[in-house]
């Protein structure tokens, strides 16, 4: 049975939604949770039955959001350090954390280690699409400065991950300021050449097409990925707020707004990050899932499911195999 180490201390809302997420996940799937955190707190939040089906690694220290990621390595008593260490030592197969994402990232990279051929692990996240299945974007924040080789590796990792998910032909695109070949910044243009080695590569993709084109993977550096994610989030949020503002300004629209509530609720579900769970850090020898600091019960449950799926699909080995296969055809 798959063993998942879960950091119960790092989230913005404390251990409650995390433990509740674990309990919900246990109802639906078979796995062994290893809860890292304050034993008394954890016990208080679990029924005796659930208490029997988890393992606990006691600790009370954790990395705060305002701490520097670079200090994480010295905090060997912190919950995220201990959780990642369990994976490193083979006592767990995966780690899920809603804590300091920078700390999780550097600890996972340093302790678990990279797949042979991957120089930079990347955070990959699914974004919703209207007419198409969701699109995986990577990197969305692990590496602010990237070279063409890094972007190429992101393309390979994204291809493998989505192929395992969708079990069909995959289309990989490179985020750019225009569709035509020749668009892009200096690094992007070099990455374009390298990505041609993938049959799945379909060329440049513009940010406006992300939500409508039948694209499965969008490759970008972590800085641009952050801008892409945050501006989409900001624009979507603003549209909904503007709509509400206009609705409140007229009575007929107010009535209309009430009637449309159901539609808005459906919409919210469609764009809710909690539906997606967390974001896997691709490129490591084992699985690390970075959950949102504001994760609720459902988001944690889904992040755990992602880690189980990751193990079942054997993602890390498949990335390694794909890379060595590509190297063979290139030499």
List of residues contacting a second copy (CB under 8 A): 128, 130, 141, 144-145, 175, 177-178, 184-186, 188, 206-212, 220-224, 226-243, 245-247, 249-250, 252-253, 255-264, 266-267, 270-271
Q: How far is the CB of 183 from a second copy (least distance, A)?
A: 8
Closest CB to a second copy among 246 and 294? 246
Measured from the CB atom, the residue of 3 and 189 that comes closer to a second copy is: 189
Kindly state the smallest distance separating residue 266's Cβ from a second copy, in Å: 5
Distance CA 171, CA 152 (A): 14
Distance CA 168, CA 49 (A): 41
> From the CB of 142, what's the least distance to a second copy, in Å?
11
Which helix (H) or strand (E) segment holds residue 6: the answer is strand 3-7
CB 127 within 8 A of CB 307: no
Adjacent-strand bridge partners of 280: 289
Residue ranges of alpha helices (H) inside the chain are 15-28, 39-45, 48-52, 79-88, 101-107, 148-166, 186-195, 222-248, 251-271, 297-313, 315-330
Q: What is the DSSP letter of 197?
A: T
Q: How far is the CB of 322 from a second copy (least distance, A)?
A: 28
d(CA 322, CA 229) in angstroms, rounded, equals 28
- Indicate the SS3 state at residue 16: helix
Q: How far is the CB of 253 from a second copy (least distance, A)?
A: 4
* Smallest separation (angstroms) from a second copy to the CB of 305: 24
Nearer to a second copy, 56 or 253 (CB): 253
d(CA 78, CA 55) in angstroms, rounded, equals: 17
CB nearer a second copy, residue 27 or residue 261: 261
Which lies closer to a second copy via its Cβ, residue 54 or residue 210? 210
Return the exposure string of 249-286: e unless at least 16 CB atoms fall within 10 Å of the residue's CB, then b.
eeeeeeeebeeeeeeeeeeeeeeebbebbbbbbbbbbb
User: How far apart are CB 176 and a second copy at their closest, in Å?
Assistant: 8
Looking at beta carbons only, is 143 or 297 nearer to a second copy?
Answer: 143
The minimum distance between CB 33 and a second copy, in angstroms, equals: 31
Nearer to a second copy, 264 or 321 (CB): 264
Helices vs. strands in the chain: H and E counts, helices first: 11, 11
Query: CA torsion sign, 201 to 202 to 205 to 208?
Result: negative
Burial of 207 from C-beta contacts in 10 A (0-12 / 13-18 / 19+): middle
Pair 103, 278: CB distance under 8 Å: no
């Amino acid at each position: 049975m798959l063993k998942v180490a879960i950091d119960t201390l790092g989230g913005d809302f404390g251990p409650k939604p995390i433990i509740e997420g674990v309990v919900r996940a246990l109802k639906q799937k078979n796995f062994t949770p290893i809860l890292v955190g304050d034993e008394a707190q954890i016990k208080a939040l679990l029924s005796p039955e659930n208490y029997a089906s988890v393992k606990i690694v006691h600790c009370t220290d954790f990395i705060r959001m305002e701490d520097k990621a670079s200090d994480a390595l010295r905090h060997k008593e912190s919950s995220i350090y201990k959780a990642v260490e369990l994976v490193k030592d083979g006592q767990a197969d995966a780690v899920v954390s809603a804590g300091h994402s920078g700390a999780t990232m550097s600890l996972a990279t340093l302790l678990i280690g990279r797949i042979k051929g991957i120089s930079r692990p990347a955070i990959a996240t699914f974004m919703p699409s209207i007419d198409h299945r969701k699109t995986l974007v990577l990197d969305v924040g692990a590496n602010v400065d990237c070279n063409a080789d890094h972007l190429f590796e992101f393309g390979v990792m994204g291809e493998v991950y989505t192929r395992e998910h969708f079990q069909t032909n995959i289309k990989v695109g490179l985020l750019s300021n225009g569709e035509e070949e020749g668009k892009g910044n200096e690094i992007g243009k070099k990455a374009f050449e390298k990505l041609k080695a993938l049959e799945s590569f379909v060329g440049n993709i513009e940010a406006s097409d992300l939500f409508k084109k039948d694209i499965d993977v969008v490759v970008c550096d972590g800085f641009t990925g952050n801008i892409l994610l945050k501006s989409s989030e900001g624009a979507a949020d603003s549209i909904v707020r503007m709509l509400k503002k206009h609705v409140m300004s007229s009575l007929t629209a107010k009535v209309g707004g009430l009637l449309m509530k159901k539609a808005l609720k459906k919409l919210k579900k469609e764009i809710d990050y909690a539906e997606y769970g967390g974001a896997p850090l691709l490129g490591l020898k084992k699985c690390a899932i970075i959950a949102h600091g504001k994760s609720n019960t459902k988001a944690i449950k889904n992040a755990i499911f992602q880690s189980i799926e990751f193990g079942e699909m054997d993602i890390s080995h498949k990335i390694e195999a794909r890379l060595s296969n590509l190297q063979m055809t290139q030499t």
